[in-house]
Amino acid sequence: MTIRIKQNFVRIVTCISVFFFSAYITPSFNVETLPALIIASLFVVILDYLVSTITNIHDYPLGRGIIGFLSSIVIVYSTQFFISGFYISFLSSIIVALIYSVCDYCLPNR
């Protein structure tokens, strides 16, 4: 249980860092405030965790690769509809999901 909590904390910090960095280099990606950034990161990590637990996609290398990338696109893009102050275009969500997926792939799975 503690490993899972530590793993999710690292994922949240990674997601915050990716969003912060990506907001500067990606066109049509805007996060208005720091709380919006933190809440959006929590939202993405929770949705990613739920998708991976329900489908077990992170247990397989292909799931952590292509399928994880495609689910990250949908999750990052849909975040703007639930979090106020988080705006992203579809093309920008592909770029951000690519960066997030590479960082997520480098994190230990277990």
pLDDT for residue 90: 93
Q: How far is CA 108 from CA 11, 44, 77, 99, in A?
A: 10, 18, 25, 16
pLDDT for residue 48: 80
Query: Are 37 and 16 within 8 A, CB to CB?
Result: yes
User: Scanning the structure block, which residue is given the tokens 């990161």?
Assistant: 41
pLDDT for residue 63: 59
Q: Which of 18, 99, 15 is nearest to 49 (CA)?
A: 15
Average confidence (pLDDT) per 10 residues, the chain, 110 residues? 72 88 87 89 86 72 70 88 90 90 73
pLDDT for residue 81: 93
Query: Are 7 and 107 within 8 A, CB to CB?
Result: yes
